[in-house]
Structure 1
Amino acid sequence: MSDLSGRTTIVVGASRGLGHGIAAAFAEAGAPVVAVSRTAGEFAAPANGEGGIRVELADAGDASVAGRLLDLHEPANVILVAGANPHMRPLQHHTWESFSANWESDVRITFHWLREILLTPLRPGARVVVVSSGAALAGSPLSGGYAGAKATQRFITGYAQDEAQRAGLDITFSTVLPRMTPVTELGRSAARAYAARNGQSQEEYLQQMGPVLTPEIAGNAMVDLVRSQATEVAPGYLLTGAGLKKLG
């Protein structure tokens, strides 16, 4: 698994933020990358690796997209990062539509892609990583149903691993839960909202979060995870500016 050349990696939600960094890191590591997003992202040519990035413009939540792209590209690795940015407001100021936005986006994407991965199925030795959120552990009182949706992504990933084992499929599924980071649009809006709620400046709020998680750190962590022996991969990880930490 240390050699990623010839092992196509699909990154869903690759146009910006952590997804962009993950796509770039896999290309630098030599993997052919398929960057899936609804809007086109710009990628620099890999400086050291032999991999390249092919952009696929598609709505990852469309029920037909996952099967089509899996059949077309036959990936060895799939990284799901896509999701909606939640509206940051107290519970009583949400509508059902704003409260449930991440269920209709993040959970829907995870369901469609993991279902198709099991049905296809991916080739033996394939790796699947679902990027959830640290909010799945700590909650997120200003983002409606976001934390519950992110926790459900983790449950679905565990269900997929169980079904793969029951079917004798050599596919490894894992969930990664990134901590809030101000380098993404979602993280910036959340930091502003929670700092105001706590009567702090945004800088004061972020200082207590520890080292900043960047797209580059996220990308390198994902490459290391996919390169690990399957027997060493945990069902879940917390991702911070210090890297990955296995969850119990």
Structure 2
Amino acid sequence: MSDLSGRTTIVVGASRGLGHGIATAFAEAGAPVVAVSRTATVFPEPANGAGGIQAETADAGDPTVVADLIDRHQPQTVVLVAGATPHMRPLQQQTWETFSANWESDVRISFHWLREALLTPLRPGSRVVVFSSGAALAGSPLSGGYAGAKATQRFITAYAQDEADRAGLDISFTTVLPRITPLTGLGQAAARAYAARDNRSEEEYVQQLGPLLSPEQAGAAVIELVQADAATVAPGYLLTGAGLKKLG
């Protein structure tokens, strides 16, 4: 698994933030990368390795799109990072539409990709990594249904692993829960909102977060997971600037 040059990797949500860092890292490690996003994105040529990035502008929550992308590219690695930016307001200032946005986006995308990975199925030895959030563990009172949606992503990824094991598919599914980081657009908006809620400056709030997670570090962490022996990969990991930590 150390050689990624022949393993097509689909990164869903690759236009920005952690997804962009992950797509770039896989290409630089030599993998052929299919970068899926709603908006057209230009990626630089990888500085190292033989990999390249093919951009696919598509709705990753459309089940027909999911089936088409898997059929055409036959990936051996799928990384799901896409999701909606939550409406940063307390509960009473949410509408049902803003509250449920991450259920209709993040959970929907995960459901369709996990389902298709099992139905197709992906080739034996394939890996699927689903990005949830540290909010699934700690909650997120300023982001409506975000924390619950992220917890559900973790649940259904575990369900997918159970179904793959029952069918003898030899596919590895795992969830990564990144901690809030102001080094992405989503994390920056969240840090600003929580700092204001706590009557602190944004700098003070960020300082207490500890080592900050960058998109480049996220890319290195996912490569580490994909290259590891499948038997050693845990069902879930917390991801911070200090690296991956197995969840019990």
Length-normalised TM-score, structure 1: 0.99
Alignment of 1:91-130 (within 5 A): 91-130=91-130
Q: Is residue 44 from structure 1 mapped to residue 24 from structure 2 by the alignment?
A: no
Give the conservation status (yes or no) of the 8 Å contact 2:42–2:55: no
Q: Give the match for residue 211 of structure 1.
A: 211
In 1, distance between residues paired with 2:224 and 2:190?
A: 28
Give the conservation status (yes or no) of the 8 Å contact 2:87–2:98: yes
Q: Give the match for residue 176 of structure 1.
A: 176
In 2, distance between residues paired with 1:120 and 1:168?
A: 14
SS in 2 for 1:39: coil
Q: Could you tell me which amino acid in structure 1 is paired with residue 41 of structure 2? A: G
Q: Give the match for residue 11 of structure 2.
A: 11
CA shift digits 1:100-152 (9 cap, x unpaired): 00000000000000000000000000000000000000000000000000000
How far off its partner does 1:42 sit? 2.2
Q: Give the match for residue 190 of structure 1.
A: 190
Q: Unaligned 5+ residue runs, structure 2?
A: none
Q: Give the match for residue 161 of structure 2.
A: 161
SS in 2 for 1:4: coil
In 1, distance between residues paired with 2:84 and 2:188?
A: 14
Q: Could you tell me which amino acid in structure 2 is paired with residue 226 of structure 1? A: V
CA shift digits 1:166-187 (9 cap, x unpaired): 0010000000000001111110
Q: Give the match for residue 63 of structure 1.
A: 63
Q: Give the match for residue 53 of structure 1.
A: 53
In 1, distance between residues paired with 2:226 and 2:25?
A: 12
Aligned length: 248
CA shift digits 1:185-224 (9 cap, x unpaired): 1101100110000010001001111111000000000011
How far off its partner does 1:43 sit? 1.3
In 2, distance between residues paired with 1:41 and 1:139?
A: 32
In 1, distance between residues paired with 2:213 and 2:58?
A: 27
Q: Could you tell me which amino acid in structure 2 is paired with residue 39 of structure 1? A: T
Alignment of 1:69-80 (within 5 A): 69-80=69-80
Q: Could you tell me which amino acid in structure 1 is paired with residue 137 of structure 2? A: L
Runs of 4+ in structure 1 over 4 Å off: none
In 1, distance between residues paired with 2:126 and 2:209?
A: 33
Q: Give the match for residue 135 of structure 1.
A: 135
In 2, distance between residues paired with 1:242 and 1:40?
A: 32
Q: Could you tell me which amino acid in structure 2 is paired with residue 202 of structure 1? A: E
In 2, distance between residues paired with 1:118 and 1:172?
A: 11
Q: Could you tell me which amino acid in structure 2 is paired with residue 119 of structure 1? A: L
SS in 2 for 1:206: helix
